Structure 1
Amino acid sequence: MEQLSFTQVKKLAEQGDIHAQTALGIRYLEGSGTEQNPELSFRWFKQAAEQGNVEAQFFLGAGYMEGIGTEKNPVLALLWFQKAAEQGDAAAQRNLGFCYMQGNGTEKSMVRAFFWFKKAAEQGNATAQYNLALCYLQGNGTKKSPTLAFQWFQKAANQDHVRAACHLGFCYMQGDGTEKNPSLAFRYFKQSAEQGYAQAQRSLGLCYMESIGTEKNPSLAFLWFQKAADQGDDQAQANLGICYMAGLGTEKNTALAFLWFKKAAEQGHAIAQYNLGICYMEELGTAKNSLEAERWLRKAAEQGYMKAQAKLEAINQTLQPFGLPSSF
């Protein structure tokens, strides 16, 4: 069908060729050889799907799920994904797993989600392999098995699945499901980080800062923390604040340290909240503000951060030189 012109495909579709009907749906969906037309795309997918074409059934399910060419209808999306999945379509099996995992168009069922992720994973679908690994890692829909989680993360990572590569790095770093191997942890964090995954970028920064699987390099640590922080990763933002405060991998800059502590603190990062409180208390990168200092220290303390709790206690003792109770 790819070699045929739009006009030729359309003629075959109108003559009842279900493969041409599916191909025509794709042409309208992508705007290939014609203007994009989601409604006509949906119409042709529906015609082919009702005649049993598995690819059209998948696209029809996606149309109902995303509201492409029709109104959103998760129940009908589930129905068509089910039809395609039962014919062995790996992408439909994967999507059916998501439907059961998230409760889209049906009740949540991690047992069924696991079943369909496994079906798709065994056919080589990388996203399904990753989600199957998470099921084994967390014991969702099946018994926990770090070893099987590792194996499926590895299969997905070897297909360049970004999140799987990052998780594989954690497996090697922590010895989950395999022996500890810092060098391989570094390798997989790097693989994922270079594809833009923030959690891997932050972890790669940590490897460079702590010489995990590679030589210590604070400058590269700073660079990768920056990349992850720019994507909103709160831990990376907190780490970047420490780099600026201590001059690790960059010049000291208390104003920028304050800025990054504040970004992380506003996302609820307890250590950043503590550090932000200290900045306000000791006039580091900002004007002194005792009320803001206490507010942020209290936020960190409420999350159980012991340094913040101790600092607040010390402040209270300073304010009560005669040992009067705080409720006095």
Structure 2
Amino acid sequence: MARAQSAADGVSNSPNVGAFPTEHILPSNEPKPQPFKKGGEAAPVPADPKATKPSGGIGVLDRMGVGLPALPPEKPYTGVVDEAYGAFQRGYYLTAFQKALPRAQLGDPAAQTLIAELLSQGLGVRRDSKNAAFWYGKAAEGGNPTAMFKFALAQMEGRDVPRDRKSADQWMKKAADAGEPTAQFNWAQSLTADNAGIKGLELALPYYEKSAAQGIADAQYAVSQLYMSLESVPPEKKAQARMWLARAANAGFDTAQLDMGVWLINGVGGKTELEEGFKWMKVAAYRGNVVAQNKLAHLYINGLGTPQDAVEAAKWYVISRRAGLKDPELEDFYLGIEDDQQKAAINAANKFRSAR
């Protein structure tokens, strides 16, 4: 449940900037800049170009006859130095464990969470999921949001602790309310699962929104779908649906990339942009999304956002058909093209490798 699947999974650039011509940067009739000596007086240009010497790093203030100002004294750091976490960040896992353990035993939730992470992943020490669950539980009781989330997962799955759905839900909600983004998404998923229909979606939406705002792509995708589908969502939020979908697509969520292509081509949530829609469909297709591969074939056939290309259309149809997606319309198209086009499409499909 750490990353619950979206209901639509499997179903649903910047331009090159050329260099400016030289004449646009420095026209030939523009006077060339001359160096300045101290006092601001222009230095004469030597008649012999070989006599010109580099400045040796003279700064602008020096050229103006003004010395560099003294740097302000560096303020000493007076905060608490977390040596254990610092060692963890540098990859010194055993050192991190040794420095965190005494603090964990004294009840420090952050240190307890770090110990649990090291034990659960086997970093610097032997992997020990049972002891990891113990420390996650201690840290959760101490109020650490990450530990609350991890302990909720352990209780939900019955992994190294007794299975307890009620307690797991309580910890998941506490973690979500404490601001843990993945817990917010998972709690939203639980609300939709436990409350059928519109009610569950409306209960879940605030948690999806909080998670989306913290960068969870699954939540961003969910927000885009709910903004468009729920009648209770105000117009100003509905207008943001495509923006949230774009964020999920840019984060690499292939279902969002597929839907981004569909929305742009069909004008959903904004104006129709065929070329941009084609680009997103192609991105999702190369990521291995079978539905996007199927739709890309249709775009090539109809010349939507791209020139018509029978071989490319047939190639993407072959790729999606091999993945199990049947399409009678595309099958009729494929059987109607020339033999050499079919052969070229099959050869191209054989060379395709998903970018996942």
- Is the Cα–Cα contact under 8 Å of residues 97 and 117 in structure 1 kept in the other structure? yes
Question: Structure 1 253/99 Cα, relative in aligned 2: closer, same or farther at 3 Å?
Answer: farther
Match of 1:43 among 89, 98, 116: 98
CA-based RMSD of the aligned residues comes to: 3.1
- Is the Cα–Cα contact under 8 Å of residues 74 and 105 in structure 1 kept in the other structure? yes
- Is the Cα–Cα contact under 8 Å of residues 157 and 168 in structure 1 kept in the other structure? yes
Deviation at 1:187, TM superposition (A): 2.4
Match of 1:166 among 221, 228, 249: 221
Which structure 1 segments of 5+ residues have no match?
Answer: 5-18, 289-328
1:70 and 1:168 map into 2 onto residues whose CA distance is 40
| Structure 1 stretch displaced more, 39-48 or 62-71 | 39-48
The DSSP-based 3-state class of the residue aligned with 1:64 is: helix
Question: Structure 1 43/255 Cα, relative in aligned 2: closer, same or farther at 3 Å?
Answer: farther
The DSSP-based 3-state class of the residue aligned with 1:72 is: coil
Instruction: Deviation per CA, 1:57-115: give whole Å up to 9, x if none.
Output: 10111112212112322222211111100111011111122223444334555433322
Please show how residues 220-259 of structure 1 align to structure 2 within 5 Å. 220-259=276-315
TM-score by length of 2: 0.65
Aligned to 1:155: 210
Match of 1:25 among 70, 77, 84: 84
Match of 1:214 among 270, 280, 284: 270
Q: Which has the larger radius of gyration?
A: 2
Identity of aligned residues (%): 24
Instruction: Deviation per CA, 1:190-222: give whole Å up to 9, x if none.
Output: 232233322222212111111111111111111
Tell me: higher relative CO, structure 1 or 2? Use CA pairs within 8 A at least 6 residues apart: 2
The DSSP-based 3-state class of the residue aligned with 2:239 is: helix
Please show how residues 4-153 of structure 1 align to structure 2 within 5 Å. 23-31=82-90, 36-106=91-161, 108-139=163-194, 145-153=200-208
Deviation at 1:130, TM superposition (A): 1.0
Which structure 2 segments of 5+ residues have no match?
Answer: 1-75, 345-356
Deviation at 1:179, TM superposition (A): 6.3
The DSSP-based 3-state class of the residue aligned with 2:308 is: coil
In the alignment, does 2:305 pair up with 1:265?
no
Deviation at 1:55, TM superposition (A): 0.8
TM-score by length of 1: 0.71
- Is the Cα–Cα contact under 8 Å of residues 116 and 135 in structure 2 kept in the other structure? yes
2:168 and 2:306 map into 1 onto residues whose CA distance is 46
